[in-house]
Amino acid sequence: MTSDQKKIFYSFFDYELGTLSLAATENGLCFVGSLNEPLSELELGIARLFPKSILIEDEIRLEMYHHQLLEYFTGSRTTFTFPIDVNGTFFQQKVWEALKGIPYGETKSYGEIATQIGQPGSYRAVGTAVGRNPLLIVVPCHRVIHKNGKISGYRGTLEMKAKLLMLEKTALSRATMN
């Protein structure tokens, strides 16, 4: 390792839906991989986000992220409280911030996000920014749908997006019944 390389710690999170790769810097979670994708997805994602970095497998450093993701998948957590460390353009950062404001179990369209960030009509650019979100689930891009209500576009596969939306809907239904 050279002095200008950034340490990125990673591990794998296993749940009944499958396996996700997770990566974090010293400052927070920086990448959540797609469901059941190989290590190469993580390596490519990190290389794009942190060109001068070295990956170090470290289950212990990622324990807090595993814990909160498990709570999310079991329906007992609706928001994440751990630190994140994401790099993006000013526009991407605005979009990702708007995504974090979509309530658990709800959805918004790409056009609604564009209007919310003060750039109505930029729904395609919003779609591109959503697609570049490095923190699947944590920055809930799965809650963005097409204006006609259909599920569209998701780095983690449309099947995963549908499962996440169903998980949230089911957890909300259970919570209101109790």
The arithmetic mean of pLDDT across residues 143-159, rounded, is 90
Please indicate, yes or no, whether residues 138 and 163 belong to a single structural domain of this protein. yes
Please indicate, yes or no, whether residues 112 and 159 belong to a single structural domain of this protein. yes
Total-model pTM: 0.91
- In the 8-state DSSP scheme, what is residue 142? G
Q: Which two tokens stand for residue 169?
A: 């809907």
Please indicate, yes or no, whether residues 129 and 166 belong to a single structural domain of this protein. yes
Q: Which two tokens stand for residue 4?
A: 């200008």
Please indicate, yes or no, whether residues 66 and 26 belong to a single structural domain of this protein. yes
pLDDT for res 153:
84
- Rounded to whole angstroms, the Cα distance separating 128 from 110 reads 10
Which residues participate in catalysis according to the annotation?
Answer: 141
Q: Give the chain's domain count.
A: 2
Please indicate, yes or no, whether residues 16 and 63 belong to a single structural domain of this protein. yes
| Residue 36 resides in a domain | yes
3-state secondary structure of 143: helix
Please indicate, yes or no, whether residues 36 and 103 belong to a single structural domain of this protein. no
Distant-in-sequence, close-in-space partners of 45: CB < 8 Å, separation ≥ 6: 23, 31, 33, 134
Stronger pLDDT, 2 or 5, i.e. the higher one: 5
Please indicate, yes or no, whether residues 62 and 110 belong to a single structural domain of this protein. no
Please indicate, yes or no, whether residues 29 and 69 belong to a single structural domain of this protein. yes
**In this model, does residue 104 exceed pLDDT 90?**
yes
Please indicate, yes or no, whether residues 97 and 63 belong to a single structural domain of this protein. no
| Residue 11 resides in a domain | yes
- Rounded to whole angstroms, the Cα distance separating 33 from 24 reads 12
Burial 127-141 (b: 16+ CB within 10 A, else e): bebbebbbbbbbbbb
- Rounded to whole angstroms, the Cα distance separating 8 from 29 reads 9
Residue 20 is part of a domain; what is its CATH number? 3.30.160
Residue 126 is part of a domain; what is its CATH number? 1.10.10.10
Q: Which domain holds residue 39?
A: 6-73
pLDDT tens-digit map of 82-99: 999 998 999 999 999 999
Rounded to the nearest integer, the mean pLDDT of the chain is 92
| Residue 1 resides in a domain | no
Please indicate, yes or no, whether residues 96 and 49 belong to a single structural domain of this protein. no
Please indicate, yes or no, whether residues 59 and 97 belong to a single structural domain of this protein. no
pLDDT tens-digit map of 114-142: 999 999 999 999 999 999 999 999 999 99
Q: Which two tokens stand for residue 121?
A: 């009509």
Sorting pLDDT into bands at 50, 70 and 90, what band is 2?
A: low
